[in-house]
Amino acid sequence: MKRQSWVPSERGIGLHGLVIIVVALGALATRVPRLSIRPMHTDEAVHADKFRDLLEASQYEYEPHEYHGPTLNYSTLIPAWLAGRHKYTEITEVTLRVVPVIFSVLLIALTILLLDGLGPAAIVAALLAAVSPAMFFYSRYYIQEMLLVCFTFGAIVSGHRYARTKALFWMVAAGVFVGLMHATKETCIIAFGGMGLAAGLLVLNHMVRQRSWRAGFAGVRCGHVVVGLVAAVGISAILYSSFFTRSQGIWDSYLTYTTYLARGGGHDTAHVHSWHYYLQMLAFARYEGGPVWSEGAIFLLAVVGLIVAVRGKPICGMDPTLLRFIAIYTVALTVVYSAIPYKTPWCLLGFLHGMILLAGAGAVALLSWMRKPAARWVVAGLLVVAVGHLAFQSYRGSFVYHADSRNPYVYAHTAEDIFAVADAIQEYAGVGGLGESVPIQVVCSGKDYWPLPWYLRSHAVAWSIELPPKIGPLIVISDDLEGALARRLYVETPAEDRRMYMYLFDDPYFMWLRPQVKLLGFVRKDVWELLQQRPDPTELLKGMHDRQSEQSVSGTIGAVRPR
């Protein structure tokens, strides 16, 4: 049979592969700029703090109740070392957020390996993955989700390559990706279930049609499977055990599912949402008079792709078996994630990427079904408009509404007030030894001070959930502790020891940390007065500039004035 033009040749990846590489590079170029524009989310700051031990002490200890797996931490070592950062205070938002950016680009590039299974639909899928607002937004988020989606796709791609070639290399690659999935996030079991269901149904269907149980496993070698499993378990064990320095981490990586099964059941009511939460977010979302958000184009094209998969007829070089695998996998993930009460918006990335693959197939199918050139041009024009609309939303979501609650992907996010809070505290750091010999106090109920630890990582800070017996010169509290602080300062403290405090924040006197969490700040009057007495650097610079100007003018006049 004649080789199709989109199939990678032995001499290279071909023209279609180059197009995907260009798309991946474009994704990199658009994701990297202004990575620090958005305030750090609580989860990002917590993961960054976890990374501190690995960076400074070369230690990692898996915590089965929080933080997820170690791949995010170990991956962050690479940009940190490349940038010459060896201390926690030296790393920046860019150091952290460039990690999910790279994996989002790798996710797109991996589509090249499906060219012989999806044909030109792989190019459309790569483009949609590059411009999808959700994929774009969370590719700049220092959490595990983008890594998990990338490794999952790597496992699917490697499995497809093994089915085609029966080469041991691809079985080992699949095992490595599976191990990385397990070492990334506990929700990998949902992806395992989806892939297992899809593979099982396809094998069963083939066995029934061939009337032989062996037909479903033709060409698969048991030795290859064993090697793949060893690779998967080995990679996971290496990372969870911190390269065999802490064996307990391996067992904890499996025992942790008791915690996450309970959490998924909806015991944490703050994150319980209706079954259609994800689908509604993708189809149509508008909050508090903000702009309309929709990835409906991907959703509708995915429905068309699903129809193509069900029909099972080859179209434009698409492998019906691969397409059916993606369809079953995507539907399974969508159903499971929708059924789980506990929901956070970034969890939709797994099945959204499956929808994107189906959408690529749907777009190509629509074009192939149009017999008249005029109709084909109309469909092509609509697809271009859809891609442009998605790209515009990606820009708006990540660079305009990056911390705005009217953005559906902004979830329990840190308010931009955090910058003013950090600046106000840092302004007093060093005044009379404050923040050096005398720690700054931050007291918030329920540890609601995150992500402040990230912004104050260069200063000495005493973090607490309860008011300390002695109030220091500068204290920041959650608003629910205001009454208790007043009693501590002016009722419980003896009259001779009472000190006057000033508001840390001028107007308003409080700052939003995140929705429903207010911060109040107080600074002792004597420290406040010390800061007021400190010369204003801008005034000093202005004075120096004025003096230099006067000297320049007088020198010029003196040169021309007659004696």
Same domain, yes or no, for 357 and 449? no
Same domain, yes or no, for 360 and 466? no
Give the pLDDT mean for 552-561.
32
Give the pLDDT mean for 347-358.
97
Q: Which of 219-223, 240-244, 352-356 has the highest mean pLDDT?
A: 352-356
Same domain, yes or no, for 261 and 384? yes
Higher pLDDT, 54 or 552: 54
10, pLDDT greater than 60: no
Lowest mean pLDDT among 53-57, 171-175, 224-228, 312-316: 312-316
3, pLDDT greater than 60: no
State which residues form the domain around 460: 417-533
pLDDT tens sequence across 517-541: 899 999 998 888 888 876 655 554 4
214, pLDDT greater than 90: no
Residue 8 lies in a domain: no
Distance of CA 252 to the CA centre of its chain: 24
Residue 288 is predicted with a pLDDT of 85
Residue 432 is predicted with a pLDDT of 67
Same domain, yes or no, for 371 and 445? no
Residue 556 lies in a domain: no
Same domain, yes or no, for 378 and 519? no
From 533, 536, 527, 540, select the one nearest 429 (Cα to Cα).
527
Same domain, yes or no, for 186 and 40? yes
Measured distance CA(130)–CA(150) in Å, rounded: 13
What total of structural domains would you count in the chain? Answer: 2
Residue 298 lies in a domain: yes
Single out the residue in 337, 365, 399 at which a domain terminates. Answer: 399
Higher pLDDT, 551 or 122: 122
Same domain, yes or no, for 383 and 506? no
Rounded to whole angstroms, what are the CA distances from 67 to 196, 263, 432, 476, 510? 26, 14, 37, 26, 30
490, pLDDT greater than 90: no
Same domain, yes or no, for 125 and 28? yes
514: helix, strand or coil: strand
Residue 129 is predicted with a pLDDT of 98
Residue 527 lies in a domain: yes
Residue 540 lies in a domain: no
Given pLDDT bands bounded at 50, 70 and 90, which one contains residue 54?
very high
219, pLDDT greater than 90: no
Give the pLDDT mean for 180-193.
95
Same domain, yes or no, for 253 and 109? yes
Same domain, yes or no, for 362 and 489? no
Give the pLDDT mean for 391-420.
94
Measured distance CA(478)–CA(365) in Å, rounded: 56
Residue 409 lies in a domain: no
pLDDT tens sequence across 449-489: 999 999 999 888 999 999 998 898 899 999 999 999 999 98
Maximum CA pair distance of the chain?
Answer: 117
303, pLDDT greater than 90: yes
Same domain, yes or no, for 215 and 359? yes
Residue 390 lies in a domain: yes
67, pLDDT greater than 60: yes
Residue 558 is predicted with a pLDDT of 30
Measured distance CA(461)–CA(443) in Å, rounded: 10
Residue 436 is predicted with a pLDDT of 67
Measured distance CA(236)–CA(65) in Å, rounded: 18
Task: Give the percent of the chain with pLDDT over 90.
Answer: 65
Same domain, yes or no, for 317 and 373? yes
Higher pLDDT, 65 or 352: 352
Beta pairing, strands 440-443 & 517-524: unpaired
Give the pLDDT mean for 190-204.
93
